[in-house]
Amino acid sequence: MPLSTYEGGLNTLSTDKDLVIVRRKPSHVFNESKDGILYEFRILGVDIDCVEFFSFEQQATYTETLERELSHLENFNFQDIILATDEHLVRKWINGIRLDEALSQAYDVPLELYLCSIFEAHKKGLFYGDGWPPNVIVSDDCKRLTRYDIDFIVKDKEFEFAQAFYHILWFARDITPVIEELSLFLKSECLFHVYSSDSFKSYLKKHISRFRDILYDRLPFNDTIPRNKSEHYQLMYDAFRTSSLIHLLGGDDD
């Protein structure tokens, strides 16, 4: 079987469905990425001691655990890892589109399934890990989701859950209907048997406020935050403030 190798950083590239993906992560790239992640998490109030980064071997082991514990979820699975070594991760190719791309193109994606997969992991005492939309593949028929690339976990389930909500808002092209869908999901009574409502609300508001402050130049931009997104920040914040979601979270803090 031919191999596709991307020598750059944390993302994988391939255009041929018959290829497996060989992911190589040089140590300097990993350290730069790690520093950027920790920088963002500190600003959002995360206890950095709760962040655990994985080697490729650890990623493979943790993926197996999540796959086993979430096997009851229909239309949800994990990308097959063929080989994990100290320097390389070899995975089976998946057809589909990344969740962030699907959201940005307003595809009818199964957001409830995405959020349920995170909730089910937390309910079982596990952490979802690095589960933002670029690390989720949506099948061609938009019914199935596949997780991959669990580079780290944050041992704070409220933060992981709130971050998923924020990332959905960030990538969605049509923000208002997505907020309404998220609001419906939050009305499930079982959620806050697992999560601390106050902690979840606090983290989600911190995410929204952080990018509002960037928009208003209260905080500096860094390399991970493109300036050409400023209009989207404003739209997202305005939609958030006027939606039912903010009322479920207890009102605005302005």
Helix, strand, or coil here: 217?
coil
Query: What are φ and ψ of residue 139, in 5° steps?
Result: -65, 165
Q: What is the pLDDT of residue 152?
A: 94
Where are the chain's structural domains? Answer: 3-248
Residue 5, exposed/middle/buried by CB under 10 A (0-12, 13-18, 19+)?
middle
Cα–Cα distance for residue pair 216/221, rounded to 1 Å = 11
**Which of 154, 155, 130, 149 lies closest to 59 in space, CA to CA?**
149
Strand partners, 146: 77, 137
Helix, strand, or coil here: 82?
strand
Q: What is the pLDDT of residue 6?
A: 35
Q: Whole-model pTM?
A: 0.82
Element (H, E) at 53: strand 51-53
Taking residue 50's Cβ as centre, other Cβ atoms within 10 Å add up to 13
Cα 231 versus chain centre, distance: 22
Whole-Å CA distances, 23 to 82, 129, 134: 12, 18, 15
- Residue-wise pLDDT tens for the chain (254 aa)? 333 333 333 344 444 555 667 777 655 556 677 888 898 899 899 999 999 999 889 999 999 999 999 999 999 999 988 888 888 888 888 889 999 999 989 899 999 999 999 999 999 999 999 889 999 999 999 999 999 989 999 999 999 999 999 889 888 888 778 888 888 898 887 888 899 988 998 898 888 777 666 655 554 544 444 545 556 666 666 666 666 676 666 655 55
Residue 170, exposed/middle/buried by CB under 10 A (0-12, 13-18, 19+)?
buried
Q: What is the pLDDT of residue 14?
A: 47
Residue 206, exposed/middle/buried by CB under 10 A (0-12, 13-18, 19+)?
middle
Residue type, 160: E
Q: What is the pLDDT of residue 211?
A: 67
Q: What is the pLDDT of residue 240?
A: 66
